[in-house]
Amino acid sequence: MALKKSQQSMKSWADDDYVKKGSVYVPRKQAERMSDRETARVSAIKDRATAAGEQYAQHGLHKGKKR
């Protein structure tokens, strides 16, 4: 049986190699390119949003990505 479009996108996302860098999950290749300063900046933004009860944080790591 063929997968629905939504199932296909989840399968491709699950196949990606994500790692936790600070407080944010990012693809392994992107995590390797991130500096310690950028990791600290993004983690601070994510931590503040989480503390405020927000589900998403606009930290700018995924700019230009179709979501």
Which tokens hold the place of 22?
């600070």
Backbone angles phi, psi at 25, to 5 degrees: -90, 125
Q: Give the DSSP letter string of the chain.
A: -PPPHHHHHHHHHHHS-EEEETTEEEEHHHHHH--HHHHHHHHHHHHHHHHTT-S----STTTT---
| pLDDT of amino acid 1 | 65
- Residue 53: the pLDDT is 94
Indicate whether this model's pTM tops 0.85.
Answer: no
Q: Which residues of the chain have pLDDT under 70?
A: 1, 9-10, 12-14, 64-67
* Residue 11 token pair: 């399968």
Name the CA radius of gyration of the chain, rounded. 14
